[in-house]
Structure 1
Amino acid sequence: MNKKGKISVTTENIFPIIRQWLYSSQDIFLREIVSNGVDAITKRQHLSNLGQVDEFDNPRIDIVLDKNNQTLTVSDNGIGMTAEEVDKYINEIAYSGLVDFVEKYQNEGDPQSQIIGHFGLGFYSAFMVADKVEIQTKSCFADQPAVHWQSEEGIEFEMTPGQRDKAGTDIIMHLTEEAAKQYTEFELRAVLRKYCQFMQYPIYFNVLTTKGETEETADKAEKGESETEKAVDKAEEAETEQETEKPINNPDPLWNKQPARIEKQEYIDFYYEVFPDGKEPLFWVHLNLDYPFRVKGILYFPKLDLQYERLEGRIKVFYNQVYVADNIPEIIPEFLFLLRGCIDCPDLPLNVSRSFLQDDQYVRKLSSHIVKKVSDRLAEVYRKESEQYKEWWQYLQLFVKYGMMSDRNFSERVQDIALLKDVSGEYTSLKDITEGNVYYTPGENELSAYTAMAQQQGKTVYILDQEIDLQWMSYIEFNSQGKIKFVRVDAEAETEQSSEKTEDIAQEQKTLLAEILQALGADQYEVKYQASGTDSLPLLIRESEEFRRMNDLLEQVKRSGDEQMLESMKEMLERDENKPSLIVNTDQPLLERLEHLDQDQALDLINYFLKLAKLGQDSLKGTEFIEFLELSAKYAFESTERDNN
């Protein structure tokens, strides 16, 4: 059976392509090799169920890192290969054994349902980290001899009789110097956790440190004289006390179980298994669909402050329990990345590396279905646990608002459960606000003076303190076709602009105030006179809602670092000159008091009330705030002296 030859390559220089383009990450080599082992076991189990091969127990995959020899071995006790199959599936790149297997057994059960591989290129990903690769394999069909295959750099190969005496395959990778340094025990554990955490059969990881020693040992699997079996034998001979071995993966993830049979604590425990951050999720949605496409998974609504969280790695996409990628926007709309969880889609249209999706009608339908299930779950929680939902709103609002702006269908579904919280702690559904001004404060303890005035006028003041609220308000206004208008409590609403009262104000008083403001360097205001009530401040600062929003948006752009957008917005604001209004409260005796003061006293008084107005607007900062404190102390002492006299 000795044979030598050249591997049939259909594309020139295919290995540089495999190394640099086909696989988006070098770590994927381990996923591909282990996935091949999973496929091999699945095929053998199917043949066993058909009675074509003997039954076998204890399906497993063993991975051994030999530090001394710089090898990494992946062993399975699956279907194995004959010499003819090695020649066909290994020596001809991209010839997948799945095609032959399915064609041969397509009328006998459904062997394809849990088989991962499609393209036959996965094995050659081993050359991303190895300069030499060996295969020791034996077919599970009786009377088939074992085969040994080896190749350096994947160009020339050599096939000879093998050493295995039981069915299965060993892939022995002789690591390059660079790979041997990179793939330490801890790095390999991390890669296995990422890519193989939920593969369908138990995976055991062992490390050979010195001859006869292992950091972990494994009982013998049903395989021949493989590298892994030798490692286990040596460990037993050393009689080193070891803990009972445990697989490094979970072959039966929770999403495979029927939701009705799962307890609440099981969902929470599974969340911690995938996302060990110690923060319990609020609730979750369990996806379990077989038609018109197969999809399973669990999406969690986390209790997180997402303004300070990264979105990478939040939703993990699997293909028959094999990790594909995080946050694939073709399947999962971007706003769902604010959730956490796992989705397993066996029908995904993948390219040869399983790393990127092809955009097609199936994927779009799948995406729409996931969005619908998420919105339905939100509505269910709101309907059944209304008070709890309101408590959770502080964690849910960013997701709901972002989703409304991102997906029109989602927006229509959650319109009834999008909430607004007012300063009194009461909640109002967005559906109950149909028209008119909606007054808000950017923080529960901000703009307190203006909030109090609005409440005295019978207005409800809502709290909109999220970074996203600036865009969300504009979205709601646009969709209402102008019927709804959000107005910050310190903004100059259109109804207030027409309430100016100047007929009772003497021209001398107006002139005096203008001169004082000019002397204070505060002539940037447009002075207006309004009766604001005896409980309101003598001076109030207001500006148009539109202009202030533009300034707030400018600050967001500054934080984002988008220089091009920043310059564009600055030019726009410079063109649209807009003076803030200084409202003189005619219900306060300020103007009359000025007539009885000398120039310095008048300057100090207006300066004090101007700073008091800025304080009420939360815009008094730095040296102005210090000056305000000094003036406050001065007036306090003067008041005390008058009382004593």
Structure 2
Amino acid sequence: MTTGKINVSVENIFPLIKKFLYSDHEIFLRELVSNGTDATLKLKHLISIGEAKVEFGNPVIEIKVDKEGKKIHIIDQGLGMTADEVEKYINQVAFSGAEEFLDKYKDSAKDSGIIGHFGLGFYSAFMVAEKVEIITKSYKDEPAAHWTCDGSPEFTLEPADKTSRGTEIILHVAEDSLEFLEDSKISGLLNKYNKFMPIPIKFGTRTETLPKPEDAPEDYVNETIETDNIINNPNPAWTKQPTELSDEDYKSFYRELYPMQFEEPLFNIHLNVDYPFNLTGILYFPKLGSDLQIQKDKIQLYQNQVYVTDNVEGIVPEFLTMLKGVIDSPDIPLNVSRSGLQADGAVKKISNYITRKVADKLKALFNENRADFEQKWNDIKIVLEYGMLSEDKFYEKAGAFVLYPTVDDTYFTLEELKEKLKENQTDKDGKLVVLYAGNKEAQHSYIETAKEKGYEVLLLDSPIISHLIQKIEGDNKDLTFVRVDSDHIDNLIKKDENTISKLSDEEKETLKTSLEAYIPKAYSVQLEAMDSQAAPFIITQPEFMRRMKEMSQSGGGGMFGMGNMPEMYNLVVNTNSDLATNILNTEDKTHQEHLVKQALDLAKLSQNLLKGEALTAFVKRSFEMIK
């Protein structure tokens, strides 16, 4: 029997590992199963190149829980270790057998799927165990070895009587970690971290009901058998080529990832690149609508099919974190506990690739079936608009497929929109004016007035649209977006013709003074000469002030403090209307006040601004007028 000291630089390495290296103690199972997977994949590779003269068979990794004995067993059928290899790989903390293997066989083993990047993974066992045993037999014709350590730097290494190839790790679970002896706990961890490992993982058995024979009598009772409970899918969809998968395969995998998600995804994007880095994955576009507060962190990050995290910030561009799916890359730099990212230039390259791939896929979907793309627009627009704001590279490509719908459900790209509007909606200064509404119902009267002029009105109702149109205007100097209720229609798109007011300047001054006596200070009175058939009172919100306020409220942009400013409105009074003349000529101040308040309330009603006490007073006053 050999005894000795583990080669570590400090005596208290195990407390450090337990307290600081791994923030979640549950990681131990992921690490030990990953080690077993590596051992199996290494053997498979050595057999494939003729270096190991053994049968590979159908290896599994088995997890056993001995609740009474307070032990957990992790058993693999991989290449195993000799006593010398135990000395080398186990007794030298942070010596990575996987890295050495990949370096030795770097040309032939690059696609073998070997996981490890460092040798600390095994020692995560001491986070939950007071003693750890390794019983291992190499595929080589050498004796088995039995290594034991109680969490101190002291260990024992002696021959073992194991006859089958592979390694068994036995954890003697510590008193403060007895929760890991529960089957439900282990099952949950295996499903979380090892659900898509490339080697089948067995945890207990399950009862399977056999099908009923065709000639069975009516009272036949189906037979049942006990079969291995394999908890993982070793060949998940993202490891296959897109040509091997049907639409139903992608949807089936989505349901496997998100069993509690009952809505089908709109479409998916299959990622597959091997230069200048290796990355595979599938991203799904769920139905999102216009809600920016949706739950993120639904994309799962894997490394060689080992779950790492669902926080993919940095790898996936911010705007795509609203999607769902899987990304797998052996080239993503992780910290030593494999639980988070390290800062690295490769991460930015991966992020740029994903951005480009998503943009190319969206363009292809748009070109292949525009009608279907338009139908899905409202469910995906928030992601694309956010992407245009946050990623310059995406913004550059988005012009080919981002849509601008009208209130009549017609869809245009920006270039199509410019061509459509240039003849009728170019103002006297040569600027193209794009009219839009944020709420088709609330702004209905303004929309109808614009349509009577032959103008197109877009429906732009996402919470970040003010930011986006500000950016688009910055890149298109001869184009401006104006909400349809920000002024009366003749001022929105100013032409050369001017309407003459039938009131003199003196009469207009008198009218304005009378109006301001009854109009609340939140409204700025503006007198405008319009068509006599146009509405006498129109409430508008100045485009600049409203947009700055919206941008400030939705985060970023706008002007400091604007988000908390009270709403400001213009009251545009048509000086050519009969009502304006009546108000001007009415000598009875009480009647004049009733006319002004009634007209103002009607204008507020059309903007959905009449509420509470003011609405009650309006209804009462209206009934009084028609008695």
Matches of 2:276 and 2:366, distance apart in 1 = 28
Question: C-alpha displacement at 1:147, in angstroms?
Answer: 2.1
Give a deviation string over 1:15-54, Cα, whole Å, max 9, x none.
3443344334333222111100000111222233315332
* Alignment correspondent of 1:118: 117
2:482 to 468, 487, 493: 487
Question: C-alpha displacement at 1:278, in angstroms?
Answer: 1.5
Alignment of 1:230-629 (within 5 A): 243-276=226-259, 277-305=261-289, 307=291, 310-434=294-418, 436-480=432-476, 482-492=477-487, 496=491, 504-505=503-504, 507=506, 510-511=509-510, 514-515=513-514, 517-518=516-517, 520=518, 522-556=520-554, 568-570=560-562, 580-594=569-583, 595-596=585-586, 598-629=588-619
* Alignment correspondent of 2:5: 6
8 A contact 2:290–2:381 mirrored in 1: no
> Which amino acid in the other structure matches residue 484 of structure 1?
L
8 A contact 2:298–2:325 mirrored in 1: yes
Matches of 1:471 and 1:103, distance apart in 2 = 50
Unaligned runs of 5+ in 1: 207-214, 219-239, 639-645
Q: 1:597 to 1:344 in 2, by over 3 A?
A: same
* Alignment correspondent of 1:52: 52
Give a deviation string over 1:595-616, Cα, whole Å, max 9, x none.
3473222222211211121222
> Which amino acid in the other structure matches residue 244 of structure 2?
R
Question: C-alpha displacement at 1:390, in angstroms?
Answer: 0.4
Question: C-alpha displacement at 1:103, in angstroms?
Answer: 5.2
8 A contact 2:548–2:559 mirrored in 1: no
Please state which structure has a larger fraction of its residues in helix.
1
8 A contact 1:127–1:133 mirrored in 2: yes
Give a deviation string over 1:566-588, Cα, whole Å, max 9, x none.
994159969xxx96321112342
Matches of 1:130 and 1:633, distance apart in 2 = 82
Matches of 1:163 and 1:445, distance apart in 2 = 81
Query: Secondary structure, in 3 states, of the residue corresponding to 2:227?
Result: coil
Q: 1:418 to 1:485 in 2, by over 3 A?
A: same
Give a deviation string over 1:101-127, Cα, whole Å, max 9, x none.
3455557x3277321112100001112
* Alignment correspondent of 1:235: none
* Alignment correspondent of 1:631: 621
* Alignment correspondent of 1:94: 94
Question: C-alpha displacement at 1:327, in angstroms?
Answer: 4.0
Give a deviation string over 1:459-517, Cα, whole Å, max 9, x none.
2111111112121111111222x322111111138972986866724745743553454
8 A contact 1:63–1:75 mirrored in 2: yes
Query: Secondary structure, in 3 states, of the residue corresponding to 2:7?
Result: coil
Q: 1:549 to 1:159 in 2, by over 3 A?
A: same
Matches of 2:121 and 2:86, distance apart in 1 = 14
8 A contact 1:102–1:112 mirrored in 2: no
8 A contact 1:501–1:530 mirrored in 2: no
Query: Secondary structure, in 3 states, of the residue corresponding to 2:400?
Result: helix
Give a deviation string over 1:139-193, Cα, whole Å, max 9, x none.
2212x22222222234322223334221111222222333223674333323222
Output the TM-score relative to the length of structure 1: 0.85
- The worse-fitting range, judged by mean Cα deviation, of 68-77 and 405-414 is 68-77
- The worse-fitting range, judged by mean Cα deviation, of 119-128 and 625-634 is 625-634
> Which amino acid in the other structure matches residue 561 of structure 2?
M
Matches of 2:344 and 2:527, distance apart in 1 = 63
8 A contact 1:509–1:591 mirrored in 2: no
Q: 1:604 to 1:306 in 2, by over 3 A?
A: closer
Matches of 2:515 and 2:529, distance apart in 1 = 21
Unaligned runs of 5+ in 2: 209-222, 419-430
Query: Secondary structure, in 3 states, of the residue corresponding to 1:267?
Result: helix
Alignment of 1:7-22 (within 5 A): 7-11=6-10, 13-22=12-21
Q: 1:141 to 1:617 in 2, by over 3 A?
A: same
8 A contact 1:525–1:582 mirrored in 2: yes
Matches of 1:489 and 1:255, distance apart in 2 = 47
Give a deviation string over 1:266-294, Cα, whole Å, max 9, x none.
11101111122021111112222233332
Alignment of 1:97-176 (within 5 A): 97-102=97-102, 104-105=104-105, 109-110=108-109, 113-142=112-141, 144-176=142-174
8 A contact 2:315–2:350 mirrored in 1: yes
Question: C-alpha displacement at 1:93, in angstroms?
Answer: 0.5
Query: Secondary structure, in 3 states, of the residue corresponding to 2:251?
Result: helix
> Which amino acid in the other structure matches residue 26 of structure 1?
H
* Alignment correspondent of 1:75: 75
Matches of 1:420 and 1:375, distance apart in 2 = 17
Matches of 1:178 and 1:598, distance apart in 2 = 88
Query: Secondary structure, in 3 states, of the residue corresponding to 1:245?
Result: strand
- Matched positions, count: 594
> Which amino acid in the other structure matches residue 613 of structure 1?
A
Query: Secondary structure, in 3 states, of the residue corresponding to 1:618?
Result: coil
* Alignment correspondent of 1:222: none
Q: 1:389 to 1:162 in 2, by over 3 A?
A: same
8 A contact 2:272–2:280 mirrored in 1: yes
Matches of 1:457 and 1:85, distance apart in 2 = 85
Matches of 1:437 and 1:427, distance apart in 2 = 17
8 A contact 1:205–1:216 mirrored in 2: no
Matches of 1:579 and 1:464, distance apart in 2 = 21
Query: Secondary structure, in 3 states, of the residue corresponding to 1:466?
Result: coil
Q: 1:315 to 1:547 in 2, by over 3 A?
A: same
> Which amino acid in the other structure matches residue 396 of structure 1?
I
* Alignment correspondent of 1:177: 175
Query: Secondary structure, in 3 states, of the residue corresponding to 1:307?
Result: coil
8 A contact 2:299–2:324 mirrored in 1: yes
Q: 1:586 to 1:251 in 2, by over 3 A?
A: same
8 A contact 2:78–2:165 mirrored in 1: yes
* Alignment correspondent of 2:428: none
Query: Secondary structure, in 3 states, of the residue corresponding to 2:526?
Result: strand
Q: 1:416 to 1:532 in 2, by over 3 A?
A: farther
Query: Secondary structure, in 3 states, of the residue corresponding to 2:571?
Result: strand
